[in-house]
Chain A
Amino acid sequence: MTDAPARRGETLLLALGNPLMGDDGVALVAARALRRRYRENVDICESPVAGFALLDLLTSYRRALIIDASRTGRVPPGTIREFTPSDFSPDATASPHYAGLPDVLALGRTLDISLPCEIRILGMEIDEMDRLHEGLGPVAAGALPEFIKRTSSILDSWVLE
């Protein structure tokens, strides 16, 4: 388990999830698989926390790719989808206390905190994540190679540019 990366390069891969919650940890598994390949040019961070903690994690990077598990029930488990922060309009913040990525970015702008100018987000749909157990289920494990490939392809487009 890794906390914030030791060095601050230009590019961050931020994997969100919990390793004790089965498929919820799928992004962490993907990040681990890519650690060696990108050790020279991407800072890789695994984190179970998010929300405003993202502010600390994202600060000072030029580009960030956030990977995570999602459970929307709208697409089959194993589906991988890409989002950008603009998909999460501020209107989507349904509660005064429910602040998401747009709020973190807006707060950063308001307070002059240096945040990545490019943020991409990849999510893998999963269907169960509230029971404590280790390891991935068959659907998430089956979709993992594609998840890693998509993640890697975005990172390559940045670091090989």
Chain B
Amino acid sequence: MPTGAQQTLPRRITIDPITRLEGHGKIDIFLDAKGEVEKAFYQIPELRGFEVFSLGRPAEDMPQITSRICGVCPTAHHMAATKALDDLYRVDPPPTAKKVRELIYNTFMLEDHALHVYILGGPDFIVGPDAPKAKRNVLGVIETVGIETGKRVITMRRRLRELIAHLGGKVIHPVFGLPGGVARGVSPDEIPALKSLADDAVAFALFTLEVFRKIVLANDKYVALITSDAFTHHTYSMGLVDAANKVNFYDGTVRVTDPSGKEFTRFAPGEYLDTVAEHVEPWSYVKFPFLKKVGWKGFTDGPDSGIYSVAPLARLNVADGMATPEAQKAYEEYVATLGGKPVHHTLANHWARVIEMIQAAEKIRELAADPLLTGKELRTLPTEKPTRGIGIVEAPRGTLMHHYETDEKGLITKANLIVATQNNAGRISMSVEKAARALIHGGKVDDGLLNKIEMAFRAYDPCNACSTHALPGQMPLTIRLRNAAGDVEKVIER
């Protein structure tokens, strides 16, 4: 094992709750007879038992149940489930209810993205991929950006989480979403504090862009790394857009663009099964979603391969621009710097994430100034018999789909989720394979393998927590090397 200290007790962290944040990644690398990489896969663990668990339960319970599945993005599951219930009962929430939902959702996006930019992904591009390992952690990030900035990040995240808790009922498991509306509105006397928070949030997001410019964009080596072939895949992209084809996290039409950037298809959430199919590899139970009309051609990119990507990079690819002015300016700079659209550089996800932070913050400000936000009409009561409901939102990590079917009493007869990291699984596998090919030769594993692989998949902000609950005693990444006969030859854990 290259990570020698792993055999000592501290390596085996028995209770390390961070695993709850990330779930448990598994990578399989297959070597040929000469010890060269034949293929490599990134697995997200299966969510076992979800359908069985859901059967016979009232559909109204799904926003609570699904938000409890995941400790990382409960708000995204809550919102996708709530929208699936709107569809199930054929109810259109009143404008005020939609605005309250959007306010909570954008607050969540900003808070979650900030966590990744500064803390989870920060070591890769704030501290730097070449920095010594001892510095490549959150304290290294603080050392680079400064203590005052560190305090600002922590304070802003806390204030955003407090807002979600205040409006959503609970910060960890929101309870605001009801079919056709929301459980509580925003009162006019809450607006001044909200406006003040919104102004600070916009300033914080713009400041984050400055940090990114100073630390990443000013460094030619970083830019060269971002645009290097090792981190580039020409795949299809998928994401929600509004009526003007601008990025929208909460609602809209799902748009898919081809590797050249042209619109390939667009669909309403209810039609997702016409576009998305799932491929199962014979060696694994893991499902890899792909575009049905293009077909599954293996782990390869280009216009003939149905693999698509989701998450910030893909969202900015499918949209014609951002929905708010400052985010649009940042987007134009991003597109110009990276040589035009579409952008296929995986590591540009970090930059796209910062631009999305700006849009989320500006959206909060826009909603805080909207008189409709404080309206009294919070719910359209369902009258139709339930049958089938599908809800789609953009989770921080990409397109999230919830699909329920019920009997006429509203009891679940079928439930299916396609989570964001699953939508990205094909492309993440390709990124892992590229890194593995560069580093493994003649059966010898380069010590830099894990770092490089981690960098490749970390840019997606992958999250397995929907499907595993955090096995505190285990490390978040297991790499299995298999020989030509398919036998496991070596296991590397981190």
Q: Is the CB of B475 within 8 A of A70?
A: no
Q: Is the CB of B48 within 8 A of A99?
A: no
Q: How extensive is the interface on chain B, given as a class?
A: 35 or more
Q: Please judge, given known A-B contacts A1-B68, A111-B147, whether A99 and B50 are in contact too, CB under 8 Å.
A: no
Expressed in whole angstroms, the minimum distance between the Cβ of B419 and any Cβ of chain A is 14
Question: In the complex, what distance in Å separates the CA atom of A74 from the CA atom of B474?
Answer: 11
B53 contact set on A, CB distance < 8 A? 20, 132-133
Q: Is the interface of A mostly helix, strand, loop or mixed?
A: loop
Q: Is the CB of A56 within 8 A of B12?
A: no
Q: Is the CB of B69 within 8 A of A110?
A: no
Question: In the complex, what distance in Å separates the CA atom of A97 from the CA atom of B457?
Answer: 12
Q: Is the CB of A95 within 8 A of B15?
A: no
Q: Is the CB of A94 within 8 A of B494?
A: yes
Q: Please judge, given known A-B contacts A3-B170, A83-B14, A130-B468, whether A49 and B69 are in contact too, CB under 8 Å.
A: no
Closest to B458 in A: A97
Q: Is the CB of B151 within 8 A of A51?
A: no
B133 contact set on A, CB distance < 8 A? 96
Interface pick from A29-37, A84-92, A143-151, A152-160: A84-92
Q: Please judge, given known A-B contacts A111-B147, A130-B45, whether A49 and B71 are in contact too, CB under 8 Å.
A: yes
Q: Is the CB of B136 within 8 A of A51?
A: no
Question: In the complex, what distance in Å separates the CA atom of A79 from the CA atom of B475?
Answer: 20
Question: In the complex, what distance in Å separates the CA atom of A107 from the CA atom of B363?
Answer: 30
Interface pick from B117-125, B213-221, B338-346: B117-125
Interface residue B369 (Cβ < 8 Å from any Cβ of A): no
Q: Please judge, given known A-B contacts A70-B472, A73-B473, whether A93 and B137 are in contact too, CB under 8 Å.
A: yes
Closest to A121 in B: B15
Q: Please judge, given known A-B contacts A111-B151, A130-B48, whether A52 and B115 are in contact too, CB under 8 Å.
A: yes
Question: In the complex, what distance in Å separates the CA atom of A110 from the CA atom of B142?
Answer: 8
A111 contact set on B, CB distance < 8 A? 142, 147, 150-151, 154
Q: Is the CB of B68 within 8 A of A71?
A: no
Q: Is the CB of A91 within 8 A of B49?
A: no
Q: Is the CB of B71 within 8 A of A50?
A: yes
Q: Is the CB of A3 within 8 A of B458?
A: no
Q: Is the CB of A48 within 8 A of B71?
A: yes
Interface residue B6 (Cβ < 8 Å from any Cβ of A): yes
Q: Is the CB of A91 within 8 A of B5?
A: yes
Residue total for A at the interface (Cβ-Cβ under 8 A): 58
Q: Is the CB of B473 within 8 A of A72?
A: yes
B173 contact set on A, CB distance < 8 A? 1, 3, 48
B52 contact set on A, CB distance < 8 A? 132
Interface pick from B16-24, B188-196, B374-382: B16-24
B69 contact set on A, CB distance < 8 A? 18, 20, 132
Residues of chain A in range 77-132 having any CB-CB distance to chain B below 8 Å: 81, 83, 87-89, 91-101, 103, 106-107, 110-113, 121, 123, 129-132
Among A47, A74, A107, A121, which residue has its beta carbon within 8 angstroms of that of B139?
A107
Q: Please judge, given known A-B contacts A20-B65, A49-B71, whether A87 and B10 are in contact too, CB under 8 Å.
A: yes
Q: Is the CB of B142 within 8 A of A71?
A: no
Question: In the complex, what distance in Å separates the CA atom of A54 from the CA atom of B15?
Answer: 13
Expressed in whole angstroms, the minimum distance between the Cβ of B127 and any Cβ of chain A is 8
Closest to A130 in B: B468
Interface residue B13 (Cβ < 8 Å from any Cβ of A): yes
B68 contact set on A, CB distance < 8 A? 1, 18-20, 48
Q: Is the CB of B18 within 8 A of A100?
A: yes
B223 contact set on A, CB distance < 8 A? none
Interface residue B454 (Cβ < 8 Å from any Cβ of A): yes
Chain B interface (Cβ within 8 Å of chain A)? 3, 5-6, 9-18, 20-22, 45, 47-50, 52-53, 65, 68-69, 71-72, 74, 115, 119-121, 123-124, 127, 133, 136-139, 142, 147, 150-151, 154, 158, 161, 165, 170-173, 450-451, 454, 458, 467-477, 493-494
Chain A interface (Cβ within 8 Å of chain B)? 1, 3-4, 16-21, 24, 47-56, 66, 68-74, 81, 83, 87-89, 91-101, 103, 106-107, 110-113, 121, 123, 129-133
5 of the cross-chain contacts (CB-CB < 8 Å) are: A16-B20, A48-B469, A94-B6, A100-B18, A123-B472
Apart from A48-B74, A113-B154, what are 8 other A-B pairs with CB-CB below 8 Å?
A: A16-B17, A16-B20, A72-B12, A97-B22, A100-B17, A107-B138, A129-B470, A130-B467
Counting from the closest, the 6 A-B pairs by CB-CB distance are: A50-B17, A72-B473, A96-B136, A51-B21, A96-B123, A49-B71
